Structure 1
Amino acid sequence: MADTERAASTTSEQITAEVLAAVGNTGDERARVVLTALIRHAHDFAREVRLQPDELLAAADFLRRCGDISDEARHEFILLSDVLGITMVVDTLAADVPDGALETSVLGPFYRAGSPLEPHGANISRGGSVDGEPARIHGRVLDLHGEPIAGAELDVWGTNANGLYENVDPLQPDYNLRGRFRTDESGAYDLWTVKPVSYPIPDDGPVGELLRVTNRHNMRPAHFHVIASAENHRTIVTELYSDDDEYLWSDAVFGVKSSLVVHYERIEDPRRLAEVGSAEPYWELRHDFVLTPGERAGVSFTTGRESAGR
Structure 2
Amino acid sequence: MLNLNEDTITQAVLARHAGMPDERLRQIMTSLVQHLHAFAREVKLTEEEWFEGIRFLTETGQLCSDKRQEFILLSDTLGLSTLVMAQQNHKPAGCTEATVFGPFHVENSPIYPLGADISNGAKGQPCFVSGTVRGLDGQPIAHAKMEVWQADEDGFYDVQYPDLDQLQARGTLHTDAQGRYHFRSILANSYPIPHDGPVGKMLETLGRHPWRPAHLHFRIQAEGHETLITHVFRRGDEYLESDAVFGVRSTLIADWPRHEAGPAPDGSLCDQPFYTLDYDFILNPQRT
Normalising to structure 1: TM-score of the pair? 0.88
Instruction: Provide the secondary structure at the position in 1 that maps to 2:48.
Output: helix
Partner secondary structure for residue 123 of structure 1: coil
Deviation at 1:105, TM superposition (A): 1.4
Contact in 1 for aligned 2:261/2:270 (Cα 8 Å): no
* 1:77 aligned to which of 71, 78, 103: 71
Tell me, in whole angstroms, the C-alpha distance in 2 between the residues paired with 1:31 and 1:97: 27
* Equivalent residue, structure 1, for 2:182: 190
1:224 matches 2:208: no
Q: Which residue of 2 aligns with 1:273?
A: 264
Task: Output one character per residue of 1:49-100: Cα deviation in whole Å (capped at 9) or x when no partner.
Answer: 1111111111011100111122221111111001000001101111111222
Give the corresponding residue for 1:205: 197
The 5 Å alignment of 1:294-305 reads 294=286
CA–CA distance in structure 2, aligned partners of residues 187 and 88 of structure 1: 29
In 2, are the aligned partners of 1:127 and 1:172 still within 8 Å (CA)? no
Query: Based on CA coordinates, which of the two structures has the bigger radius of gyration?
Result: 1
**Paired amino acid for 1:17:** Q
- What are the Cα deviations for residues 200-258 of structure 1, in whole angstroms up to 9, with x where unaligned? 11111110111011100011111101001111111111111111211111111111011
Q: Which amino acid aligns with 1:74?
A: R
1:171 offset after TM fit, Å? 5.3
1:120 aligned residue (100, 114, 134): 114
- 1-structure distance, mates of 2:237, 2:226: 29
Equivalences for residues 163-182 of structure 1 within 5 A: 163-170=155-162, 172=164, 174-182=166-174
Cross-structure match for 1:293: 285
Matches within 5 A, 1:100-115: 100-115=94-109
Contact 1:66 1:205 in 2 (8 A): yes
**Residue pairs, 1:35-114, within 5 angstroms:** 35-114=29-108
* Counterpart in the other structure of 1:23: 17
In structure 2, the residue matched to 1:249 is 241
Q: Where do residues 126-145 of structure 1 align in structure 2 (5 Å cutoff)?
A: 126-127=120-121, 131-145=123-137
Report the Cα offset of residue 268 of structure 1: 2.7
Quote the Cα distance in structure 2 between the aligned partners of 1:267 and 1:183: 25
CA contact (8 A) 2:121 2:168 kept: yes
Q: 1: CA distance between counterparts of 2:195 and 2:268?
A: 41
Q: CA deviation at 1:123?
A: 0.6
Q: 2:128–2:265: 8 Å Cα contact kept in structure 1?
A: no
Asked if structure 2 preserves the Cα contact closer than 8 Å seen for 1:127 and 1:173, the reply is: no
Contact 2:148 2:219 in 1 (8 A): yes
What SS does the aligned partner of 1:189 have?
strand
Conserved 8 A contact 2:256-2:276: yes
Q: Which amino acid aligns with 2:229?
A: V
Structure 1 equivalent of residue 253 of structure 2? 261
What residue ranges of structure 1 are gaps of 5+ in the alignment?
1-8, 296-310
The structure 1 segments of at least 4 consecutive aligned residues displaced by more than 6 Å after TM superposition are: none
Give the alignment's Cα RMSD to 1 decimal: 1.8
Partner SS, residue 13 of structure 2: helix
Distance 2:87 2:196 in 1: 31
Letter of the structure 2 residue corresponding to residue 135 of structure 1: C
- Partner Cα separation in structure 1 for residue 82 and residue 221 of structure 2: 19
Aligned residues of 2:203 and 2:210 also touching (Cα < 8 A): yes
Q: Is contact 1:242-1:264 (8 Å) kept?
A: yes
Of 168-177 and 56-65, more deviation after overlay is shown by 168-177
Residue 249 of structure 1 aligns to a residue whose secondary structure is: coil
* TM-score after normalising by structure 2: 0.94
Among all aligned residue pairs of Structure 1 and Structure 2, give the percentage whose two residues are the same amino acid.
40
